[in-house]
Copies of this chain bind each other. A is one copy, B any other.
């Protein structure tokens, strides 16, 4: 949402809806225009091209996720506490912006050739937040040294993201808190029972 033009908001929201329902290719500018209640030309007047509209959407979303995460992390002292709120925030974000996350995963994570630069920026932007936390944790001795940082970061993102999507999109039988707890337990202490 770069500037305050009132025309951009409805377009932005219609675009989010259509892109997440249809994917980038199947989404048509006609439909976005119709849902936004503006003429097709207005979209081009404001965004230049379908691709630009899409990218501005993606950028905006990731910015929101990063901000939300950074804000929460700053509040916590210990690394584990920071990682815990990262899980909480990412899960909530995936819930709040289901559609956006679907788009993110399917278009941007999937077809790196087409969104090359944007994809790379998004990935490294968000993942490096996680990576830094894990790295700091390893140095402080609260995170296992034997974990390879980058892999652990991707894994954390993946476990939260995929679990969230599967839950939001397909199964809803068990409560939200169960997911959150399961993910935290899994990440911090693993699946194995501690032998006593």
Contacts and interface: CB of A to CB of B under 8 A. Distances in A.
Interface in A134-162: 134, 137, 141-144, 146-148, 150-152, 154-162
A37 to B, nearest CB: 21
Interface residues of A, number: 65
A54 to B, nearest CB: 13
A21 interface: yes
Interface of A: 21-26, 80, 83, 102-103, 105-107, 109-114, 120, 123, 127, 134, 137, 141-144, 146-148, 150-152, 154-163, 165-167, 169-171, 174, 178-179, 181-183, 185-193
Given A80-B192, A105-B106, A191-B143, A186 B114 contact: no
